[in-house]
Amino acid sequence: MESIHVKTVDPIGQDLLRGAAAKGLDLGWERYERLQPQDGFLRTGLSCAYGCLQGPCRIDPFGRGATQGICGLDRDGMVAASLLRLCLHGALEGLTEANNQEPAWPAELGPAAKKAEKVLGGDVSAADTFAAAKQLSRPGASPDDLLRQALRLSLLTVGLTGEGALRAAGRLSCRVGYGVVSGAGPVIGLCGRPTSDLVAALRDSTGASEPQGQIVALGEWIVADGELLPIACTSGEVEAVLSAGWLDAVALGPDADPAIARLCRSIGLPVFGEAEAAAARMTKSANGPNASQCAEGQVLCSAEEARAGLASNGSAGLAILAGSDAPQISLGWLPTELAPALRAKGLSVAACGDAALWVAKAGLASLDSDRPVSLLDPLRGPLDALAAAGPERVKGICFTGVKTSRDLAFALGLAVLGARVSVATPLPLWGSAGVRDLLNEKIAALGGAFAHWDHPASPDEVLAWFGES
Q: How many CB atoms lie within 10 A of CB 204?
A: 12
Residue 223: which region, alpha, beta or left (left: phi > 0; alpha: psi -120 to 50)?
A: beta
Closest to ligand SF4 by CB, 57 or 427: 57
Closest to ligand SF4 by CB, 48 or 277: 48
Q: Which of 29, 41, 50, 430 lies at the binding interface for ligand SF4 (CB under 6 A)? A: 50
Q: Which of 6, 70, 291, 308 lies at the binding interface for ligand SF4 (CB under 6 A)? A: 70
Which listed range, 44-52, 218-226, 286-294, 372-380, lies at the site for ligand SF4 (CB under 6 A)?
A: 44-52
In the complex, what is the shortest distance from the CB of residue 429 to ligand SF4, in angstroms, rounded to a whole number? 18
Task: State the number of binding residues for ligand SF4 (CB under 6 A).
Answer: 11
In the complex, what is the shortest distance from the CB of residue 45 to ligand SF4, in angstroms, rounded to a whole number? 13
Closest to ligand SF4 by CB, 139 or 289: 139
Which listed range, 54-62, 175-183, 191-199, 264-272, lies at the site for ligand SF4 (CB under 6 A)?
A: 54-62
In the complex, what is the shortest distance from the CB of residue 76 to ligand SF4, in angstroms, rounded to a whole number? 12
- Exposed e or buried b for every residue in 408-431, given b needs 16+ CB within 10 A? bbbbbbbbbbbbbbbbbbbbbbbb
Strand boundaries in 346-462, DSSP class E: 348-351, 374-376, 394-399, 420-423, 449-452
Closest to ligand SF4 by CB, 21 or 71: 71
| HSE toward the beta carbon, residue 214, CA cutoff 13 A | 19
Q: Are the CB atoms for 427 and 79 separated by under 8 Å?
A: no
Q: What are phi and psi of 49, to 5 degrees?
A: -100, 0
Q: Which of 13, 45, 69, 401 lies at the binding interface for ligand SF4 (CB under 6 A)? A: 69
**What Å distances lie between residue 134 and 78, 81, 130, 147, CA to CA?**
16, 12, 6, 14
SS3 for 387-403 is: HHHCCCCEEEEEECCCC
Asked if residue 48 binds ligand SF4 (CB under 6 A), the reply is yes
Q: Which of 12, 46, 73, 141 lies at the binding interface for ligand SF4 (CB under 6 A)? A: 73
Q: Which of 4, 21, 42, 52 lies at the binding interface for ligand SF4 (CB under 6 A)? A: 52
Q: Which of 9, 20, 27, 57 lies at the binding interface for ligand SF4 (CB under 6 A)? A: 57
374 SS3 class: strand
Asked if residue 19 binds ligand SF4 (CB under 6 A), the reply is no
- DSSP code of 436? H
| HSE toward the beta carbon, residue 400, CA cutoff 13 A | 34
CA distance 393 to 368: 25
Asked if residue 263 binds ligand SF4 (CB under 6 A), the reply is no
Q: Point out which residues pair with 319 in neighbouring strands.
A: 349, 396
Q: Are the CB atoms for 76 and 91 separated by under 8 Å?
A: no
Q: Which of 6, 18, 33, 54 lies at the binding interface for ligand SF4 (CB under 6 A)? A: 54
Closest to ligand SF4 by CB, 67 or 212: 67
Alpha-helical regions (H) of 269-395: 274-277, 303-309, 333-344, 353-361, 381-389
In the complex, what is the shortest distance from the CB of residue 51 to ligand SF4, in angstroms, rounded to a whole number? 8
Which listed range, 7-15, 51-59, 152-160, 301-309, lies at the site for ligand SF4 (CB under 6 A)?
A: 51-59
Which listed range, 47-55, 122-130, 284-292, 439-447, lies at the site for ligand SF4 (CB under 6 A)?
A: 47-55
CA distance 259 to 240: 12
Which listed range, 29-37, 48-56, 446-454, 459-467, lies at the site for ligand SF4 (CB under 6 A)?
A: 48-56
Q: CA 54, 141, 445: angle at the middle one, nearest 5?
A: 140
In the complex, what is the shortest distance from the CB of residue 349 to ligand SF4, in angstroms, rounded to a whole number? 44
Asked if residue 215 binds ligand SF4 (CB under 6 A), the reply is no
383 SS3 class: helix
Binding mask 101-140 for ligand SF4 (x = CB under 6 A): --------------------------------------x-
Asked if residue 71 binds ligand SF4 (CB under 6 A), the reply is yes
In the complex, what is the shortest distance from the CB of residue 396 to ligand SF4, in angstroms, rounded to a whole number? 36
Residues that bind ligand SF4 (CB under 6 A): 48, 50, 52, 54-55, 57, 69-71, 73, 139
